[in-house]
Structure 1
Amino acid sequence: MLFYSIAVVVIAIDQLAKIWIRGSIAVGDSVPFWDSVLNLTHYENSGMAHSLFQGYGRLFALFAILFISGVLYYRKKGDVKGKPMDISMGFLVGGAAGNAIDRILFGKVTDFLEFTSGHGILNLADVAINIGVVLLLITAAVSIIMRKEFL
């Protein structure tokens, strides 16, 4: 249940934030948000990270659907188990689904989190994917250390 709860909450928050951005800030406009750390900048990205492969938004939606299907398959099979994995996979699936929804409906994703350190523009689905990856790496590292497989 934890996996599904996290995935649904991530999707809902991501989609609500994107709806708000699309309705509040014109594409290309930027609004200072958090002191000098973060701006809300409305950007429409039809590619992938760092605007690579522009125009292939719907193709990336297919990859997201395949990823989500794989996670669901392996969860059902019993290969993905435990609370840390449920949390990690919940963030990963929620983020992938949030961006896939945009790509299917619009052919592009709405990005809006621009950190002034210059690391591109993200959305909340991207943040969730990053959280999921970090949690997955921590879970894998702890698992290896606990089994002492690194020796």
Structure 2
Amino acid sequence: MPILLLGTIAVVVVVIDQWAKQVVQTHMLPGMSLPVLDNIFHITYVLNPGAAFGILENQRIFFIVIAFLMLALTVYFFKHIPENFRLMRLGLSLLVGGAIGNVIDRVQTGYVVDFFDFRIWPVFNVADVAIVTGVGCVIYTLVFMSFPNENQENTR
């Protein structure tokens, strides 16, 4: 999977995330909730000053620095990921897109706009979905794919 395609995937995640957040912010007020499936799924406008489950509230600079470090490390190490590890490359592009989507919010307002509300889980957004899916892809690759052994490569 070429890096251009992966960059495109990250950009698509950012565009969809920012568009969805803009729609929510344009048509709703913070705290407002619209039932899609009553008591199952709502669109609820939440301004989240923290991370998942509201942890580390108001640590804006910390989250921005961590996101930029993650982005820099991903770009730096991307070339070392074997070409056939497509799922890991996809996962990293989803992670990058999600991180950028949430960093844009943090830089602009200090908050992340969340709106998917399944009533049994904290409210989340498109970027969060991309991040969780990306982490799942990376973990799956690390657990179930075999990496080339350096000694095997040197003996060929």
Aligned length: 144
Gaps of 5+ in 2: 150-156
> Which shifted more, 88-97 or 35-44?
35-44
Aligned counterpart, 1:123? 125
1:121 counterpart SS class: coil
1:112 counterpart SS class: strand
Aligned counterpart, 2:42? 39
**In the alignment, is the contact (CA less than 8 A) between 1:94 and 1:125 conserved in 2?**
yes
Change (3 A) 1:9 1:34: farther
Give the AA of the match of 2:107: I
Aligned counterpart, 2:62? 59
Establish whether residue 99 from structure 1 lines up as the match of residue 97 from structure 2.
no
User: 2:125 & 2:147 partners in 1: Cα distance?
Assistant: 33
Residue by residue, what CA displacement relative to the aligned partner does 1:66-109 show, whole Å, maximum 9, x if unpaired? 1011100111xx22243222211110000011001100111110
Match of 1:114 among 113, 117, 129: 117
The Cα of 1:145 is off from its aligned counterpart by: 9.6
Aligned counterpart, 1:80? 81
Gaps of 5+ in 1: none
Give the AA of the match of 2:10: A
**In the alignment, is the contact (CA less than 8 A) between 1:27 and 1:42 conserved in 2?**
yes
Change (3 A) 1:139 1:34: farther
User: 1:47 & 1:19 partners in 2: Cα distance?
Assistant: 20
Change (3 A) 1:36 1:63: same
Using structure 2 for the length normalisation, give the TM-score: 0.85
Instruction: Give identity over the alignment, percent.
Output: 33
Aligned Cα RMSD in Å?
1.9
User: 2:73 & 2:36 partners in 1: Cα distance?
Assistant: 37
Larger Rg: 2
